[in-house]
Amino acid sequence: MKTFTTVVRYDDVSKDLDIYIKEELLKNGFTVDEVSPSIVIVIGGDGTFLHAVHERIEELDKVKFYGIHTGTLGFFTDYRSDQVDEFINDLINKKPFITDYQLLEATVDDNKKYYAVNEIRIENISRTQVIDVFVNETEFETFRGTGMCVSTQLGSTAYNRSLHGSVIQEGLPLIQLSEIAGIHHKAYRSLGASIVMKENTKIEFKSDNFSGAYLCADAYNYPIDNVNKIDVILCEKRVKMLKFKEISYFKRLQSLF
């Protein structure tokens, strides 16, 4: 339980905190293990947290994440940089509880899998993308536009929010489908609003032509030119976070927006 590594944003405040946190933890019986740590300490922002999770995507069952935000509060972190001593003291002296969050899994042509904490997007910025959307094997609509975004509860405040999707309160393991610049006129019409669905929903995107399109999993993008089908579900992979205190979801929202 006492092995750790850090993932640090490239700014001076985060780098200085990294040095301080490491010194204090090493003095208190922790050891650095960059290969298979039990704790990954994230110093930076929610974006840094996403990168830290993706670096360990194959070993999420073995690690727990613990974060300090060098900006405001954040959705993945419970401490700001001016609370660094509390952050260290809690880790050394207090008994944690674990909160875990299911990841999205995108399966491309029944084969390759990609995972996301916030959202899976299909985006084509070079031409109108036509996508047939199926929900739990039932044909739902044909979308035309830039793309579609499937987000988790955690991701509801990220890209999804910029698409005017709903912000989903913590504790509701729902998935949400939002349009990215859908075309709506007499000839073409899709729902034009985001839909919040049950956690066990499977969303399927099919197209005869995904050329120029990308599958985006959080900050990572993959070309899908020769792909025909992408399924998205909430999967059994989970990211586990170390917690020492409860912070109201609405306090986080208020501090961020």
Shortest distance, position 44 Cβ to ligand NAP, whole Å: 7
Part of the chain binding ligand NAP (CB under 6 A), chosen from 154-162, 190-198, 229-237, 241-249:
154-162
Residue 27: half-sphere exposure toward Cβ, Cα within 13 Å: 8
Contacting ligand NAP within 78-117 (CB under 6 A): none
- 17 phi/psi in degrees, rounded to 5: -65, -40
Shortest distance, position 187 Cβ to ligand NAP, whole Å: 28
Query: Residue 158 interacts with ligand NAP (CB under 6 A)?
Result: yes
Residue spans of alpha helices (H) in 94-206 = 159-162
Tell me the pairing of strands 129-135 and 119-123. Answer: unpaired
Part of the chain binding ligand NAP (CB under 6 A), chosen from 57-65, 78-86, 153-161, 194-202:
153-161
Reported in sequence order, the residue ranges of 87-219 that DSSP labels E, i.e. its strands, are: 97-108, 112-116, 119-123, 129-135, 138-151, 175-182, 195-197, 203-206, 214-217
Query: Residue 41 interacts with ligand NAP (CB under 6 A)?
Result: no
Residue pointed to by tokens 């916030």:
118
Contacting ligand NAP within 162-181 (CB under 6 A): 162
Shortest distance, position 155 Cβ to ligand NAP, whole Å: 5
**Candidate residues 8, 37, 45, 131; the one interacting with ligand NAP per rule CB under 6 A:** 45
Amino acid at 96: P
Return the DSSP state at 7.
E
Biggest alpha carbon–alpha carbon distance for the chain: 68
Using the minimum distance from each CB to ligand NAP, give the nearer residue, 161 or 206.
161
Using the minimum distance from each CB to ligand NAP, give the nearer residue, 5 or 118.
118
**Candidate residues 15, 16, 22, 47; the one interacting with ligand NAP per rule CB under 6 A:** 47
Cβ pair 224, 210 in contact under 8 A: yes
**Candidate residues 78, 90, 119, 123; the one interacting with ligand NAP per rule CB under 6 A:** 119
Sign for the pseudo-dihedral over CA of 246, 178, 61, 65: negative
Question: Cα 137 from chain centroid?
Answer: 25
Q: Which residues bind ligand NAP (CB under 6 A)?
A: 45-47, 50, 71, 74-75, 118-119, 154-155, 157-159, 162, 218-219
